[in-house]
Structure formats: structure tokens, C-alpha cells
Amino acid sequence: MLIAMAGLPGAGKSAVAGEVARALGCALLSVDPIEAAMWRAGVARDQPTGLAAYVVAEDLAREQLLIGNDVVIDAVNDVEAARGQWILLAGELGQPLVFIEVFCSDVDEHRRRLAGRRRGIVGFPEPPWEAVLDRRAGFDSWTDARLRVDSMRPPEENTAAALAYIEGARRDGTASA
């Protein structure tokens, strides 16, 4: 199964993604470290490394799915083209797909988390709050089925909700693709 996380930077999606991947014992592919690795390898920052990171994650996900592993994608996925990439991949391979969106219902807390975030991704700066706000519009028109979890809830509740959603989609065949 392909599990595509979505959410604004600093909303808490990487925390949920990590716990889901750990619980399922599956691959976790995060776009930000892939992009940072490109920069460290000498690819100029004025190149479309954000898009390239999604493409690299897609190819790595394909390989994992082909050998029978579940995959968790950790990416903002705020635009239809990004989400469509996962829909196409799952469809191409005949694999189920679920989306899980993580959001933070407390704007002040979200902003505080982003300002204090230190993920340790070498060479990868955290985005400014204004850039996060600019990306919010990408979620407003999203109508596809997905689980939405609020990172203001305890992390173990969000992980449990995500795992239940994934299991329900497997059991009921309600996953996309």
C-alpha cells in the first residue's frame, strides 16, 4: 500500500509519518532530506530540486512497492499535481493508496512549532511562516478522500487513527487506485 502524507510544513506530518512507518515496519520516504541531499551533492538551489525530490521519492516508492513493501511518503503534497503523482503511481502498479492530511488547528501553535523546529536536515532551512501561509490555499480545494488528523491531539491518538484508517482501507478495499 502507498500511504501519502500531506500537510503544511510544521503541522506535524513527519512525526505521524514516522510513527506510521515504524508501526507498519515499512519504508518512509521524505522529500525534504532528498532535496537537501541534492543541494549537498552540488545541484544548484535555483534548479527545480523540489520537483526533482518528488520524482526521486516516486521512483524509490515504485521500487519498494514492486518488491511488496508498503511505503509512507512524507511530503507537503499541497498541489493537485503532487497528489496526482501518487494516484498515478498507485494506479500504474495496481496498489492501494490512502492520503493522510495532518493539520494544526491552532495557528499560533503551528507558527511557534515552525519557528522552533530543528529537524537536523543538513543544509535544509526551515521555510518562513509567510511561505507556509502561501501554501495553505493548495489544501482548500482538495476534495479527494483522506483522513485528516489534527496535530493538537496527542501523537499516539493521531498514529492510532492513521493506522486504523489504513487497516480499514485495506480491509474494505476503500483505498484509492
CA distance 63 to 86: 14
pLDDT of residue 119: 85
Does 3 reside within a domain?
A: no
Does 37 reside within a domain?
A: yes
83: CATH: 3.40.50.300
pLDDT of residue 28: 98
pLDDT of residue 172: 84
Containing 155, the helix (H) or strand (E) segment is helix 155-172
pLDDT of residue 146: 96
Identify whether the C-beta of residue 5 lies closer than 8 Å to the C-beta of residue 77.
Answer: yes
pLDDT of residue 176: 65
Does 108 reside within a domain?
A: yes
Does 4 reside within a domain?
A: no
C-beta atoms surrounding 154 within 10 Å: 9
Does 6 reside within a domain?
A: no
Number of domains in the chain: 1
- What residue has cell string 522529500? 31
Question: Whole domain around residue 135: which residue ranges?
Answer: 11-172
User: In 3-state terms, what secondary structure has residue 19?
Assistant: helix
Positions in the chain whose pLDDT score sits under 50? none
Residue-wise DSSP of 98-142: EEEEEE-S-HHHHHHHHHH-----TT-PPPPHHHHHHHTHHHHT-
Does 5 reside within a domain?
A: no
State CA 96 to chain mean position distance: 16
pLDDT of residue 117: 87
pLDDT of residue 42: 95
pLDDT of residue 124: 86
